Structure 1
Amino acid sequence: MELLKGFLCFLLPLALLQLLLALVRRGRSSTQRLPPGPISLPIIGNFFQLGNKPHRSLTRLAQTYGPIMSIKLGQLTTIVISSPTMAQEVLQKQDISFSNRFIPDAVRAHDAHKLSIIFQPVNDRWRSLRRLSYTHIFSGRVLDATQHVRRKKVEELMTYVRKCCHQGKTVNVGRAAFLSSLNVLSNTLFSVDLADSERDEARDFKELVWNITLEAGKPNMVDYFPALRSIDPQRIRGRMSLYFLKVTSLFGKMIDKKMEMKTFLRDISESDVMDMLLKISQENTNEVDRDQLVQMCMDVFVAGTDTTSSTLEWAMTELLRHKTVMENAKNELKQVVGDGKQVEESDIDKLPYLQAVIKETMRMHPSVPFLIPRQVYAEVNLCGYKIPKDAQVLVNVWAIGRDPDIWESPMQFKPERFIDSKIDVRGQDFELIPFGAGRRICPGLSMAMRILSTMLGSLINSFGWKNEGDIKQENLDVEVEEKFGITLQRANPLLAVPTPI
């Protein structure tokens, strides 16, 4: 951060000298028809207006400049979308023009972007990998077949919390959810635990995922000043290269072990997702090869752990702040599931209030407040404005979720707003799109909702909860500070004490 400040201070004198030229260009820009936006300083653009919580500062700017706004971040033109109507234009009606991803320099480390389903452009290779991941990991058929894995991991989470309850210990809610999500994915793909085991590679992997999300969430000067790419002044790409190398090495070893087992035991059954994917790879390497399988694993694990755990942590935070909501959720669970019992996936559809709690959490605390940024590769017209080639496009779902023109009392946590409402999170209702929408909607949506519902429901149905130190209700607001990064997390972890029911 000190390096970033120093660099900006160095550029500021040059920026001021060129301000007059910028204003002249601004006057001529009417022919370009860029969306409206604040005047930017030369070279550095609007950096100083972002602050350390850009989702909030861009929301405030949108109140002045409208639901489609342009800002300048260094040399990068950025378009900010802040309404459901504009989001639908970008993600659905004109999604082919906005379907490619902006590739952060951090993701270019170890050439991860070249194989990543998340960052590859929409082409035949992307479609093939997307279809493969959905068919064999995230389809309803596969999720039904692997629900025993998720049930077991939720049961293990309950065992851990029960132990903390008996010993009077606090639970780091986000960390516990992260480890459970990690083991759900590792057992689904490899039939092994990658957390809470004695194996060194399990502990190493847990740290690697945390480090990757940390580095990917940092502002990187190279993204806004491409000329700095060869220098990598913050060393973000250098550290990410090391992390990616370790992760790909770990997954590569796990895949190679499975390949060896298939070589010596030709009649081995497909016991998990990776067995099936390896069978497909061996039958047709053009469909998917080893390197693509390794990258697919990294995409699934990095994207599927931090987002799920942060959403569950925010949900528990809001339930602890709103005792009536907690009581309502507990009463529903008691009636449908039974007091103190673990929630099964077959119970989810019978728990509308629990689902409303999760939707309300995603409305107020979307795990990825700007979704994954898009980039246009050719000039495109959007609602009468010209979006220039290579512009970055941010969809501010945090702003949409708190827009008073859309939501009544948007700053209040009110799950009741979703009772008898048809609004869902599956990409058709643009007031609530925490997983995105269109052809690049998150493929893990259904798995995430199953994990969140069973984990959150089981936690609040099996235990009473209080904040560490028994913080008074009226003082809870000051504890809920945000930390902006690749996901929107609490600045301080939620430490809660489980109590017997």
Structure 2
Amino acid sequence: MEAVVAFISSATVTQVIIGTVVILLSYYMWKRPANFPPGPIGLPVAGIIPFIGKYPEQTFLKFSKQYGPVIGVRLGMNDFVVLNDYESITEALMKNKELVSGRPTHPLFEVVGEGYGIAVVDFSTFFKNQKKFGLVTLKGFGVGKKGMEERIFEEIFYINQAIHENIGKPHNLHKLLVNAMSNNVSSLVCGKRFDYTDKKFERMNYHLGRGYNDPETNKFNIFIRFAPYLRHIPPFSTSLDKLRNDVVKIHEILNEIIDEHRATLDCNSPRDFIDAFLIEMKKENNPDFSEKQLIHYCVDLFIAGIDTTTNTLRWAIIILLHYPKCQKKLRDEIVATIGTETKTTMSDRAKMPYTCAFMEELFRFRTVVPLGIVHKTNGNVKIGGYDVPKDTQVICNIWAVHNDPKLWKDPEKFDPQRFLDNEGNFVQSTKHLIAFSLGHRRCPGEVLARMEVFLILVSLLQRFEFVQGPSGLPDINAGANGGTFNPDPFSVVVRDI
């Protein structure tokens, strides 16, 4: 009898312990700060990661219809705040920009940036000084000016030449566009363009593309982004190792280029961004300008200048295939304005309202950075009436703004007319178009990206017609969604006009 009582007592103690653990885990799982935005918590440890799907921006928008535009979601073991409408995003990034412009400490950011560069460093005096230096320096080397137009036109010559080699044949233009965008950045950063067959150039573009924009790598890294503990578990750890290796290779190549610059540096006549940075490094009491900062800054400039613009142009080509009437209307306006031989300039935009409207709708319709780069609160802040504590990660769902039916009629349709008035005049970008983000973290490459898209698009349509290849129309809605939204690989037939 005593043995039975002892067994029951032991079982009761075990049940109490298990029950206590369950209660504590449940408490931790459901516990949130007071007045935190409502939203789904999901599963222990994983949160809602198993349910976000291939397109997290669309999943977040669905949740917002249940909980409201400002939602709190648990991704992995951390609570994020996701902003799903224009009002909440502007409240965070404009009204409270000093408090919502940080970057979180994250294993991915550590691998990519190591605490240096511009894209993933935290908001601080260091960030402000580096951003100011970059904007002033790049503007000094022609960004937004006639000098940059000439550099882009030099690259357009090589684009046209490469296209002519495959005229009338099915061809994937992805690598060609990557090379061209990389050379546009290189002309600013390194003071030169590279031949497309240059081995160093090929290696750098390969590692930039695989490490940062490869769909296979990104499909794992996007989960590490939300649940850092996954970096220790294959295949996520393998993907992160690939990224780490690519970063090392890119740094090796940039070190060679920087050494060449250092050996030929003339402090009285800087040739490019690297020269300007090396000159800053020589100044006394200037610790923010270091060798490591230079390398990471260069990487950030290449990443920002290649991937988003390349994929914007790829989406543009897909749209031209799906909407041949738009392609004809664009070409008719371009030819009527500048003919088929004259080089266009940025000043021609005023005479090409439909072309400008097409570009704006392109930026809206295919938002290439749907969720932006994650922000972090630098202090307690109120957004949408909710209290968001310091050090909370904040995601801005730009895609949701660009697909909000309250702002855009039939947002799922591509329609440049929404940027034209009744007389056919171009309506300057509506405030609701935020493809380049807002506030302190607004993309510093916006001016260059807009120049490239306009000049390249106009120049291509002056000379070529784009038609679908034998494999049919590429999917206009599907793509690989990592940090950026990339079209699936596709081929196109290009004809002379």
What TM-score do the two structures reach when normalised by structure 1? 0.86
Q: Residue type of the partner of 2:95?
A: K
Q: Residue type of the partner of 1:200?
A: K
Q: Residue type of the partner of 1:205?
A: M
Provide the C-alpha distance between the structure 2 equivalents of 1:336 and 1:299, rounded to a whole number of angstroms.
37
1:415 aligns with 2:416: yes
- Determine the structure 2 residue equivalent to 1:190: 190
* 1:339-350 to 2 correspondences below 5 Å: 339=340, 341-350=342-351
- Determine the structure 2 residue equivalent to 1:38: 40
Provide the C-alpha distance between the structure 2 equivalents of 1:239 and 1:295, rounded to a whole number of angstroms.
18
Provide the C-alpha distance between the structure 1 equivalents of 2:49 and 2:442, rounded to a whole number of angstroms.
29
Pair 376,254 (structure 1): closer, same or farther in 2 beyond 3 Å = same
1:243 corresponds to which of 246, 249, 269: 246
Indicate if the aligned counterparts of 1:341 and 1:462 stay in contact, CA closer than 8 A.
no
2:487 corresponds to which of 482, 486, 490: 490
Shift of 1:279: 2.8
SS at match of 2:35: coil
* 1:255-270 to 2 correspondences below 5 Å: 255-262=258-265, 266=266, 269-270=269-270
- Determine the structure 2 residue equivalent to 1:293: 294
Q: Residue type of the partner of 2:281?
A: S
Provide the C-alpha distance between the structure 1 equivalents of 2:240 and 2:53, rounded to a whole number of angstroms.
23
Indicate if the aligned counterparts of 2:170 and 2:470 stay in contact, CA closer than 8 A.
no
SS at match of 1:164: coil
Aligned pair count? Answer: 469
* 1:104-123 to 2 correspondences below 5 Å: 104-109=106-111, 112-123=113-124
Structure 2 gap segments, 5+ residues each: 1-19
Superposed CA offset, 1:42-91 (max 9, x none)? 22211122012212211222222221111101111111111111110111
Structure 1 gap segments, 5+ residues each: 1-16
Provide the C-alpha distance between the structure 2 equivalents of 1:361 and 1:381, rounded to a whole number of angstroms.
33
Indicate if the aligned counterparts of 1:369 and 1:396 stay in contact, CA closer than 8 A.
yes
Provide the C-alpha distance between the structure 2 equivalents of 1:308 and 1:149, rounded to a whole number of angstroms.
16
- Determine the structure 2 residue equivalent to 1:169: 169
- Determine the structure 1 residue equivalent to 2:495: 499
Q: Residue type of the partner of 1:171?
A: H
Pair 435,479 (structure 1): closer, same or farther in 2 beyond 3 Å = closer
2:429 corresponds to which of 424, 431, 435: 424
Provide the C-alpha distance between the structure 2 equivalents of 1:82 and 1:463, rounded to a whole number of angstroms.
39
Deviates more, 1:270-279 or 1:203-212: 270-279
Q: Residue type of the partner of 1:212?
A: G
Provide the C-alpha distance between the structure 1 equivalents of 2:342 and 2:485, rounded to a whole number of angstroms.
31
Indicate if the aligned counterparts of 2:369 and 2:435 stay in contact, CA closer than 8 A.
yes
* 1:82-481 to 2 correspondences below 5 Å: 82-109=84-111, 112-138=113-139, 142-144=143-145, 145-165=147-167, 168-194=168-194, 196-197=196-197, 199-213=198-212, 214=214, 215=217, 218-219=220-221, 222-226=224-228, 234-262=237-265, 266=266, 269-284=269-284, 285-286=286-287, 288-339=289-340, 341-420=342-421, 422-424=427-429, 429=431, 431-469=432-470, 471=472, 476=473, 478=475, 480-481=477-478
Shift of 1:443: 0.6
SS at match of 2:401: helix
Shift of 1:333: 0.4
Indicate if the aligned counterparts of 1:482 and 1:488 stay in contact, CA closer than 8 A.
yes
Indicate if the aligned counterparts of 1:115 and 1:292 stay in contact, CA closer than 8 A.
yes
Provide the C-alpha distance between the structure 1 equivalents of 2:319 and 2:228, rounded to a whole number of angstroms.
41
Root-mean-square deviation over aligned CA pairs: 2.8
SS at match of 2:356: helix
Indicate if the aligned counterparts of 1:149 and 1:188 stay in contact, CA closer than 8 A.
no
Indicate if the aligned counterparts of 1:78 and 1:392 stay in contact, CA closer than 8 A.
yes
Provide the C-alpha distance between the structure 2 equivalents of 1:217 and 1:147, rounded to a whole number of angstroms.
36
Percent of residue pairs identical: 23
What TM-score do the two structures reach when normalised by structure 2? 0.87
Shift of 1:268: 7.7
Shift of 1:374: 0.5
